[in-house]
Amino acid sequence: MTDTVDVKTYSDDKCFGQKAPSLELLEAVQGEKIDLQPGKVHVLYFFTTFYKGAYPVNEEFTKLSEKYKDVTFISISNDAEKEKLERFLQKLILDDKSNEPIRMKTPFVFYDEKKATAKLYTDVSGLSIMSCPTAFIVDKDGKIQWRQQFLQTYTVKDSNFENQLLHVINGEELESNGPRPKVDAGEGEAVEADDMSLF
């Protein structure tokens, strides 16, 4: 399945430069309730507790939040029930290979009831559905500068997400993967490739 999922972020992504939707509909589960703050860079990490293959990505975002203290990291759960998230945050989860803890310890973890906020970010990205985990980088002016989907087989270390975050922090031009390639729809008609969904 992962062979058919294109996780590359292209330079013509519809969300780039768009105003990031408010976080006012979210419910704080870890950390205090906040919204996007002018003058600060934010990383918004949408995840689910049931996709166990992506648990290492949770640890990667925890480490990024510890490394970049001036960036506000907000993890947003798209689980069906808040209680599942609360139980998940209390669990000790160990990596199958290293036996090291896999944490979800970003300063802020919010619950997104009925995926209301995820739908806002899906709409601004021009997607029919947003696969989790997906992360957005929002600049100091409140505009989305980068969007990245992750998989069990494509984590933060496999992507240029951290480099892009550094570019946003420093006010630099981001790296480009070029525009989304066209795919042949048959009879000579070219269309843009659709984003794939895991769920």
pLDDT of residue 12: 87
CB 162 within 8 A of CB 52: no
DSSP annotation of 195 = P
Q: How confident is the model at residue 115, as a pLDDT?
A: 96
What are the tens digits of pLDDT across the range 83-92?
A: 999 999 999 9
Q: What are phi and psi of 39, to 5 degrees?
A: 85, 0
What does the pLDDT look like over 64-103, one tens digit per residue? 999 999 999 999 999 999 999 999 999 999 988 899 999 9
* 13-54 residue pLDDT tens: 999 999 999 999 999 999 999 999 999 999 999 999 999 999
**How many beta carbons lie within 10 A of that of residue 184, not counting itself?**
9
CA gap 26, 77 in Å, rounded: 9
pLDDT-based confidence at 129, cuts 50/70/90?
confident
pTM for this entry = 0.89
Chain-centre distance for alpha carbon 150: 8
| pLDDT of 5 | 72
pLDDT: is 16 or 11 the higher one? 16
Across the chain, what does the average pLDDT equal?
A: 90
